[in-house]
A and B are shown apart, each in its own frame.
Chain A
Amino acid sequence: MVDQLRGKSAIVGVGHAGFGEAPGFSAYDIMAQSALAALDDAGLKLSDVDGLFCTMMEDAMPVLMAAEYLGIQPRYVDGTMTGGSSFVNYLTSATLALQAGLCDVALICYGSNQRTASGRLVTASKLPPYEGLYNPRYPISAYAMAAARHMYEYGTTREQLADVAVAARAWARHNPEAFERDALTREDVLGARMVGDPLTTRDCCLVTDGGGAIVMVRADRARDFPKAPVYVLGSAAASSHRQISQMQDFTVTAARDSGKRAFAMAGVTPGDIDVVELYDAFTINTILFLEDLGFCAKGEGGGFVADGRIAPGGALPVNTNGGGLSCVHPGMYGIFTVIEAARQIRGDAPGLQQDNVELALAHGNGGVLSSQVTAILGAASTV
């Protein structure tokens, strides 16, 4: 059944706005600028949009706020909030809505001004009732405890975690859109201020402003737009918990499940993927997701990322824009995994464009390793 959705929808426009710092602009301003950029990329207008897929850190009904701001009355909306994975998850719901004829032009969008508005990571969530009392630094403490357990069980080292940040920076240095482009060494990461053992500030994502947007249509009309279409070959979600205390195994995420189903739907394997875009809120994320998505065995992620293997020129290009660690992280990064994957396939990535990218994986993470959503995107040759 789900196989019937393979390649039935396509991304025909991507856009972004407000990367880094956008002083004076609200989160909705940045969302709208991103939406306009994506529609322009697709050769469409706001009045063409009849399906809206959006969530924001602000307001309890962000998809309605977004529609109101944009001045549209969409006939289909989805504001499902699973944290940063939401926007990868919308690839599935947009595909379903398009395929069912519930909408013809789907707009996925997001924006945040959290750097200039508050200067710190803003989360939409109140601390869970049985955890808030202990004053964990949310969400860092949760990821720190996952990292500590991975180190305990598999001998993963702080140096290997640092190598994830170093690789991300090496990609970002080639990307004019990236916020942090100064050289970064393993020693810099290890010597940075410790915020939640074993993670230093350089093991943590950026806090920036920024927004992103994606325009999707049914595959049968995907060739009628200016840019080469990027097809959704597979997409799958898995949810394992909400509170970090309820995570069954701190070293295994639900990406194992979402990845398996996304690959099955797309009919490809990890070895087929040309570029990998993972939600790297913290350095441990990249290691966990490479393992759980099947790029290496459980426990071997630390060794896998060492020695530049996921850096420019390495065996596996991972987070080719610089990721949430060095490119952009406006509260929720998920949409940017899809945008970078799509641009790599189209051949117009802003940084280091890889050669002959036909298949890309975008993986979103939400909450505290709670929601995992994997998408496999492909060029026309893969449909």
Chain B
Amino acid sequence: MPENQGPDKTFRDGLAKGQINLQQCNDCKKFIFFPRVLCPHCKGQSLTWHPASCGGIVHTTTTVRRKPERGGDYNVCMVELAEGVRMMSRVDEISPAEVTIGLPVTAFVGEIDGVPAVLCKPVEE
């Protein structure tokens, strides 16, 4: 069997090395997320991986309320990266109540339950 080189594996391999990589369409030049084998915009099939800039803005956000004994409240948000792609993420380092729409953030590779994940933190002033 050939080595697994599918787009999901490529993305996750990047995360495992601490890198956030995004696919860019060679035809329409748009970046895309989630990883896949075609461009959902122009339907082109030629895609190239690039390291993400990691600059982003919180597009919308919610606080998931959870009992303190189960770990307390936590943030779930949509972050829009400078490349124009949007993904689910979580803003760390500030309380969930402080995460607001429009907040400038930096995306980084952290961990959730031992699994590498794209997380965000507020841009340092």
Contacts and interface: CB of A to CB of B under 8 A. Distances in A.
Nearest to A131: B88
B34 to A, nearest CB: 5
B86 A141 contact: no
A148 B101 CA distance: 8
A206 to B, nearest CB: 19
Given A133-B112, A148-B101, A141 B64 contact: yes
Contacts of A246: 34, 86
B64 A245 contact: no
B60 A136 contact: no
Given A130-B34, A243-B88, 5 more contacts: A133-B117, A134-B89, A148-B61, A196-B63, A250-B78
Interface in B68-110: 74, 76-78, 86-90, 101-102
Contacts of B89: 134
A197 B101 contact: no
B101 A136 contact: no
Contacts of B59: 149, 250
B27 interface: no
A145 B78 contact: yes
A265 B4 CA distance: 48
Interface in B45-70: 59-65
Given A130-B34, A141-B64, A250-B59, A152 B101 contact: yes
Contacts of A144: 62
A24 B64 CA distance: 33
A313 to B, nearest CB: 34
A198 B64 CA distance: 10
A3 B65 CA distance: 48
Contacts of B34: 129-130, 243, 245-246
Given A134-B88, A148-B101, A193 B62 contact: no
Interface residues of A, number: 26
A134 B112 contact: yes
Interface string A83-101: 0000000000000000000
A137 interface: yes
Nearest to B85: A245
Chain B, interface size category, equals 20 to 34
A114 B121 CA distance: 39
A189 interface: no
Contacts of B78: 145, 244-245, 250
Contact of A148 (B60, B64, B88, B117): B60
A196 B66 CA distance: 9
A300 to B, nearest CB: 20
Nearest to A146: B60
Contacts of B63: 194, 196-197
A148 B65 contact: no
A195 interface: yes
B76 A135 contact: yes
B60 A134 contact: no
A145 B96 CA distance: 13
B88 A130 contact: yes
A129 B8 contact: yes
B77 A145 contact: yes
A135 B65 CA distance: 12
B87 A141 contact: no
A145 B60 contact: yes
B5 to A, nearest CB: 18
